[in-house]
């Protein structure tokens, strides 16, 4: 493991999540930064791209590659969806004003209908954005707060969207075709987010899982942030379970993960060591 690319400064929380573009380049979604970054793996270079999208913290939380080849940012504290066109290198805000509340959605997915869906964090409903007509709407019945406390989503082979519990008690399931919203699996306990990282005695409330990956076995794996084990969601059976070795609670261990070519999940380190879970 090594550090590559240019020095992007020491400020914390500049970007939140990355999207692999249709051009093979990796784009960072502005969180506190006023601009996106672009990383070219072939040249190992990283540059800031596009026009400024303004100051402010927590603007967008992760992104989605749209069917039009543009990069879309999911609103965290921002009022609108972010759209970045790599061809013109222009960033714009699209859709309706979604309100100035904080941490509205965290992560999103592209469904087979060509629309993007934002996973509710503090929002009480799922965000739906249609890039063809550039409109945003809220779907699914109101879940209330803080029960709508998820971080990241994954599309499974059944076409449903699954939201990973950050502080929620169960896994979120939404079927875009039937427009049906439900909770699945066992009760995982209610842990509202009070601290992201910190010593175990301060983690009375904590982010259990942060983001997830679809494994080659068709199951979804939730990445443990303060939870002690990986979360496994089997869309076929509806079973939700904990798998893998005990990594101990607390510590803000991992901030997402990727599926390796060998079928292993590689977890992105926050303050812990590298860990692989063979699917």
pLDDT over 60 (residue 169): yes
The stretch 70-95 carries a mean pLDDT of 97
**What pTM, to 2 d.p., does this model score?**
0.84
Distance in Å from the first CA to the final CA of the chain: 23
Q: Could you state, in order of their start, the residue ranges of all structural domains in the chain?
A: 149-278
pLDDT over 70 (residue 199): no
Q: Which residues of 186-222 are buried (b: 16+ CB within 10 A; e: fewer)?
A: eebeebebeeebeeeeebeebbbbbbbbbbeeebbbb
Note the pLDDT of residue 277. Answer: 46
Higher pLDDT pick, 270 / 8: 8
The stretch 149-172 carries a mean pLDDT of 91
The stretch 82-98 carries a mean pLDDT of 97
Note the pLDDT of residue 138. Answer: 95
The stretch 18-47 carries a mean pLDDT of 95
pLDDT over 80 (residue 126): yes
| Fold that domain 149-278 belongs to in CATH | Methylamine Dehydrogenase; Chain H (2.130.10)
Rounded distance between C-alpha atoms, residue 53 and residue 72, angstroms: 13
Tokens of 231: 């979360």
Q: Sheet of 254-259: strands edge to edge?
A: 254-259, 264-269, 276-278
* Contact criterion met (CB below 8 Å) for 225 and 253: yes
pLDDT over 60 (residue 200): no
pLDDT tens digit sequence for 238-250 = 999 888 887 776 6
Note the pLDDT of residue 275. Answer: 37
pLDDT category at 198 given cuts 50, 70, 90 is: very low
Residue 91: how many other CB atoms lie within 10 Å: 22
Note the pLDDT of residue 245. Answer: 82
Note the pLDDT of residue 103. Answer: 92
Q: Kindly report the average pLDDT of the chain as a whole number.
A: 84
The stretch 177-190 carries a mean pLDDT of 85
Lowest mean pLDDT among 29-38, 44-53, 260-269: 260-269
């Amino acid at each position: 493991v090594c550090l590559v690319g240019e020095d992007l400064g020491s400020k914390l929380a500049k970007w939140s999540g990355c999207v692999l573009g249709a051009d093979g380049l990796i784009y960072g979604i502005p969180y506190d930064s006023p601009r996106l970054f672009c990383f070219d793996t072939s040249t190992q270079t990283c540059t800031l791209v596009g026009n400024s999208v303004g100051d402010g913290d927590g603007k967008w939380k992760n992104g989605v590659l749209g069917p039009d080849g543009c990069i879309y940012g999911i609103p965290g504290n921002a009022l609108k969806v972010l759209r970045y066109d790599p061809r013109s290198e222009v960033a714009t805000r699209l859709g309706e004003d979604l309100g100035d509340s904080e941490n509205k959605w965290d992560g999103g997915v592209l469904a087979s209908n060509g629309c993007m869906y934002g996973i509710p964090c503090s929002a009480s409903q799922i965000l739906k954005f249609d890039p063809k007509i550039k409109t945003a709407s809220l779907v699914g019945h109101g879940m209330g707060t803080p029960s709508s406390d998820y971080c990241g989503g994954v599309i499974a082979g059944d076409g449903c969207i699954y939201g990973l519990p950050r502080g929620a008690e169960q896994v979120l399931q939404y079927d875009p075709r039937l427009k049906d919203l439900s909770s699945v699996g066992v009760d995982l306990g209610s842990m509202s987010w009070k601290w992201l990282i910190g010593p175990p005695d301060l983690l009375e409330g904590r982010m259990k899982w942060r983001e997830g990956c679809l494994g080659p076995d068709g199951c979804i794996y939730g990445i443990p942030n303060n939870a002690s084990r990986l979360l496994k969601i089997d869309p076929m059976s509806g079973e939700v379970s904990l798998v893998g070795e005990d990594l101990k609670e607390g510590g803000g261990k991992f901030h997402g993960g990727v599926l390796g070519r060998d079928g292993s999940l590689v977890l992105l380190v926050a303050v812990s060591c590298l860990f692989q879970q063979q699917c």
